Structure 1
Amino acid sequence: MEDIGYGLLDRAMIHQITERWRHGGIGIIVLQLRHVNAASLEAVQLWESQQTRLFWRYRMENDYFFFLNRMKSDRQMKLILDSAITSLKKGLQAAAAESSVDERAKPPFTIGTASASPSGLGRSAETMIYHALRDATLSMLRLRMKEDETELPFGSGQAGARSEWSSSVGIGILAKAIPTFDLHAQVSSLAKLFESNTHVQGAVIVNQGRPVGLVMKEKMHQMLAGQFGLPLYWNRSVEKIMDDDSLVVDASIPVEQVAQLAMARDISRLYDVVTITRNGKLLGAASIRSILECITNLRTEEARTANPLTGLPGNAAIQREMKQRIESRQPFAVIYADLDYFKWYNDCFGFAQGDALIRYTAAVLQDVTGILGGRGDFIGHIGGDDFIILTGSSAEDADKLCRNMIWRFDGGIKSFYNGEDVAHVVDRSGNRIEQNGVSVSLSLVYCDGSEDITTEHISQAAARLKKQAKQLNGSVHVMGEVFEKHLGEGRV
């Protein structure tokens, strides 16, 4: 077997992959080990020695990247990858069984894959390689998140029902100290730092306290390792070798948004650290690994406190999200949704049907918000038949949201009566009410961002509006501002 290339994002790697891509395609395996020990390392090395199609590899902490090639006369790349992954899993599972590390709570490893083959669509080899590497990494991360969530009491099946709960957690919480160098410092000084500190992966280049560039150790070593690298750069300023287009984000930007920006970068920057600022000044940096692990932890923690019936975030997440919006001083609207005569429905049709109706209501709110709302809108399940929506929409658009939620809800509620013609309901006092079954009341509180308010103020306003809505028959929405008694009402 040929010697296996070792490195990531260097010229030799790109050349080797491009050649094999043109002659039949490549397959990528991304392996993440939760714990690296002697047994797992030995299993990986043994597996490598058995893979005749493995031509390139790279390790970054606990993440391993393997590249396999396919000749035109070979079987499909999917079959090659499936065979390779099966043997890799077998070896790692055996290693885990021998290890003293308790791996019962979580799988000891996660594997993602992707492939790229000449498609004749006019895309360059570099583009295909980049997308394949990104897809393999993302598939591994999705599987990792799914594996983590299987420990939860209601499993991972609710994941698709959840909103983007990490939207209120800023990237600033991940900022770690990183070496800094002045714009005019010499490359030799930076090289000496990297040589004496093996754990330092990069340095931020600053000018008057503001980050203006980034130098990653691996890239600098590649640059200096060339034929004329040392004489050309050793005594030059770091400005000559820094990346002046690195990813720099403010500490307030949500972690998930930063992850999306980072994974959308060019392949040559995919694993560069992210520089974090506050008010334009350097705060620190975060590695891609720490960002992705943070997302996993956030989702797992939020899922633990989510409503088990709908999978929507519960009160802790609701309070945090509302406080974040209040502190932003940006206008937003709060919609409280409450079912009318839900107790009557449970008594008549049973709790199982009642649960189905709760899930239906959650789906209506999510569907309408997903279509008409904004990207950062939040949906929470307060408990029972009470829900909340936080949206950055204008008062007019929030009003439109409410009207469409009512239209969608009323359009499907009849299917929950098992074919019965419902002409009246019974309230909690036993009084007969002439109404065609369950309805939904929406309280719309608009916050313009100009006043000092608290979550208690919003709750009090919502309670006032809810009382007004409950006095009306059928599905309705009532709109008002935090400190106003009543601006208007709408009915559908």
Structure 2
Amino acid sequence: MPSAVSQAADSIHTIVAQRQITTCFQAIFDTRQHCVLGHEALSRGPNGPYHRADKLFSAAAESGVDREMERVCAELACERFCADDGLLFLNFQCHVLLEPGFADWITTLCTALPALNCHNIVIELTELACPADQLTPVIQRLRNAGIRLALDDLGAAHSSLLRWLELRPDYVKLDRELCRDVHNNPGKQAMLTGLIGIATEMNSTLIAEGIETVYEALCLQQLGIRYMQGYLFHHPGVQWQNDHADRLHHQSSPSDNSGESPTPVNRGSRSKDADPMDEIPSNLQSQQSIAALITPCPAVSMHSPLRDVIRHFKQSPDIHSITLLDGQNAVGSISRSKALELYSSDFGRELYGRKTVSVFMDEDIPIVEQSMGIEDVSYLLTENHSSHIVQECIVVNNGRYIGVVRTTDLLRCITDRKIRNARYANPLTLLPGNVPISEHISKLLEQGCDFAVAYCDINHFKAFNDAYGYSAGDSAIKMLAKLLQQHAPTPENFIGHVGGDDFIVIFRNTDCVDACSAICCGFAENAKDLYALDDQQHGGIWSKDRSGRPVFYRTMTLSIGLCYSDREQMRNADDVSRIASDAKKQAKRLSGGGVHIAAGGDREKQMNHSAC
């Protein structure tokens, strides 16, 4: 009777021989341009003990057919991949690359398939035990054929910075543990900021893996990481179509008030008629859209003769280009300089006048949706790799032409915003001051959004500042600002510095009592370290009150007055400010600091939370 080991080996050999592999694809998103960069191919075995990838490849290694298994998985992934959807990331262990003839095999595989070529392929190294000097010649041969390289799981034990330096991959995928709860971990944020700098120097592109919550994605995007992969966007399954992905930025902010991270959606179970973009739980942008910068400009059919375009340019001497339409959809443009150059050349009128303008169309001009953020469009224009400077971009609404946004107008708007933000920012914390706070609240009220306002004030700050000096007082204020940024990450929340030791936090998730309590606890704990050892042991300091009498002040704590948006009581920003101030005054009465929740809106009672 055959042993369990021999039966397992027979099963694995059968799976390889009969190619009993299911290929799943997980999309990698470009959160800046709202499209799919590519897909990672993930293999599954047949139902049973080898369905999971780790069990499948572990059993293949034990049976000595791991190389054959990887090749079969790659072949099936290439055959099943639709190359119109960008890059295909294929996982290989590095010792497979060192097999004789590997480079010839993979290039032959790609070129033999009509819907694929080497430029679509990215080889993702999942294990790096092989010496770099052996890998380098193979990698160079692959690159010469157009195949790119990715380093997987940077931050895991087998994937190191040294390998990054030695192999210089085109893509570096950040290990899930580096990205997990990054919005609540300043240490991870600092580490990722350093890795972004290294990637820029090494000409590598970072991809954040395993992104499961909106808050992780928002934080990573704010740090400067634009490519992401994870359950938040797409569960492994069928390929994600780019015509769906370009609507990523149309989704609204999360309205779930449960306080929990959004639950990933199993996209494998959706109906065939469902639009997958409807399942994206959040908008990853919080920017002002370009809609206000749109300038109406003439457009003509792409089938119009060049002479008609020349007539438009003569009638409108101030326009730089004319948009070309296929029906009502924008497909490109032709610039004034190019049209006139063609038409005024020797015999240009006779040679080109009757030809359709589509022959001379510039298809590289950016075409963007009107809801796209100003910063995103700026990135798009500055990253344009064509040789000429892009003077404008075409703006559409679901593909239908609206007008153009001129680069000069866009840059002027960004510059004005930066100057304005700097003008109203607090010089100590660089957080927005009173004017931006009021404007933000007014905008939320106009939009009818639900929100919560937390008014934060340090207890016994004046006594501490008088005793230790303004420099120590500044340290306390900056410490509080850092705590607020940790527990109320932007851009989904808004943090403002009213002045002195007063801060405002505007939460979009109104289930924020726990976050406020955590801020109070964190401040009380960290504030102790700002005192001298003797004062820590005594629990405070002696100082004079406003009447000049000696008074004992305990170590600093934090009071937070919390109020919720109420359409009946809050008609404008002044109403919100008044109600939040009243809540803060009540919070100041709590012994030891803490959170006071003002009654109002849907809340029928007041709740007081001590600091810890």
TM-score band by shorter chain is 0.5 to 0.7
Structure 1 residues 452, 346: CA separation in 2 closer, same or farther (over 3 Å shift)?
Answer: closer
Question: Could you tell me which residue of structure 2 aligns to residue 377 of structure 1?
Answer: 493
CA distance in 2, matches of 1:223, 1:123: 40
- Offset from partner CA, 1:226-268 (integer Å, 9 cap, x none): 9xx9968944376994759943333x66533443455566758
The corresponding residue for 2:56 is none
CA contact under 8 A between 1:480 and 1:487: conserved in structure 2?
yes
One-letter identity of the residue aligned with 1:395: T
Letter in 2 for 1:468: Q
Query: 2:513 aligns to what?
Result: 399
Matched, 1:479 2:597: yes
The question of whether the paired residues in 2 share the 8 Å contact of 1:465 and 1:480 is answered with yes
Q: 1:346 aligns with which of 444, 465, 473?
A: 465
Partner of 1:28: none
Further displaced range: 264-273 or 434-443: 264-273
Is residue 457 of structure 1 aligned with residue 575 of structure 2? yes
In the superposition, the TM-score normalised over structure 2's length comes to 0.45
CA distance change for structure 1 residues 414 and 321 in 2, over 3 Å: closer, same or farther? same
- 2:455 touches 2:581 (CA, 8 Å); kept in 1? no
Q: Among 369, 379, 386, which residue is 1:249 paired with?
A: 369
Percent sequence identity is 25
Question: d(CA) in 1 for partners of 2:606 and 2:400?
Answer: 44
- Residues 186 and 387 (structure 1), Cα distance of their counterparts in 2 relative to 1, 3 Å cut: farther
CA shift digits 1:151-173 (9 cap, x unpaired): xxxxxxxxx9xxxxx96755344
1:223/1:233 CA distance change after superposition, 3 Å: farther
Question: What letter matches 2:294 in structure 1?
Answer: A
Q: Give CA deviations for 1:428-461 in whole Å, capped at 9, x if unaligned.
A: 6789988741111122223378997321232232
Partner in structure 2 of residue 312 of structure 1: 431
Give the Cα–Cα distance (whole angstroms) in 2 for the partners of residues 399 and 265 of structure 1. 45
For 2:568 and 2:402, how far apart are their aligned partners in 1? 29
Q: Which deviations, in whole Å up to 9, do the C-alpha atoms of 1:271-330 show, x marking residues without a partner? A: 262345789987643223331232122111221222222222211111111111222222
**Contact conserved, 2:364 with 2:386, CA < 8 A, in 1?**
no
The corresponding residue for 1:217 is 335
The one-letter amino acid paired with 2:557 is: S
CA distance in 2, matches of 1:416, 1:270: 53
Q: 2:511 aligned with 1:386, yes or no?
A: no
Retained in 1: the 8 A contact 2:424–2:435?
yes
- Unpaired runs of 5+ residues, structure 2, are 1-165, 172-199, 202-222, 224-284
Query: Residue 212 of structure 1 contacts residue 244 of structure 1 at CA under 8 Å; is this kept in 2?
Result: no
Contact 2:433 2:496 in 1 (8 A): yes
Separation in structure 2 between the aligned mates of residue 430 and residue 283 of structure 1, nearest angstrom: 68
Match of 1:417 among 531, 539, 550: 531
Does the CA contact (< 8 Å) of 1:326 and 1:454 recur in 2? yes
**Alpha carbons 2:294, 2:404 under 8 Å: kept:** yes
Q: Cα distance 1:241–1:168, how it changes in 2: closer, same or farther (>3 A)? A: closer
Query: What is residue 443 of structure 1 aligned with on the other side?
Result: 561
Deviates more, 1:260-269 or 1:410-419: 260-269
Q: Deviations 1:9-38 (Å, cap 9, x if unpaired)?
A: xxxxxxxxxxxxxxxxxxxxxxxxxxxxxx
> What is the CA distance between 1:357 and its match in structure 2?
1.7
> More displaced, 171-180 or 232-241?
232-241
SS of 2:319 mapped into structure 1 = coil
Correspondences of 1:50-449 after superposition (within 5 Å): 169-181=288-300, 185-194=304-313, 199-205=318-324, 212-217=330-335, 221=339, 234-236=354-356, 241=361, 243=363, 246-250=366-370, 254-260=373-379, 262-263=381-382, 271=390, 273-276=392-395, 284-369=403-488, 373-392=489-508, 394-396=509-511, 398-419=512-533, 420-421=535-536, 422-424=538-540, 436-447=554-565
1:212/1:433 CA distance change after superposition, 3 Å: farther
Supply the distance in 1 between the matched residues of 2:329 and 2:434 (Cα, whole angstroms): 39
Q: Name the count of aligned residue pairs.
A: 329
Task: Identify unmatched segments of 5+ residues in structure 1.
Answer: 1-118, 125-134, 137-159, 161-165
* 2:89 corresponding residue in structure 1: none
The higher radius of gyration belongs to 2
* Amino acid paired to 1:292: L
Alpha-carbon distance between aligned partners in 2 of 1:451 and 1:182, rounded to the nearest angstrom: 54
Indicate the SS of the match to 1:417.
coil
CA distance in 2, matches of 1:344, 1:403: 24
Local SS of the residue matching 2:312 = helix
Alignment RMSD, CA only? 4.6
Q: In 2 relative to 1, CA 236–317 (structure 1 residues): closer, same or farther, beyond 3 Å?
A: same
1:366 Cα deviation (Å)?
A: 2.2
TM-superposed CA distance for 1:207, in Å, is 8.6
For 2:314 and 2:597, how far apart are their aligned partners in 1? 64
Judging changes above 3 Å, is the alpha-carbon distance between structure 1 residues 353 and 257 closer, same or farther for their aligned structure 2 residues? same
Distance 2:581 2:516 in 1: 17
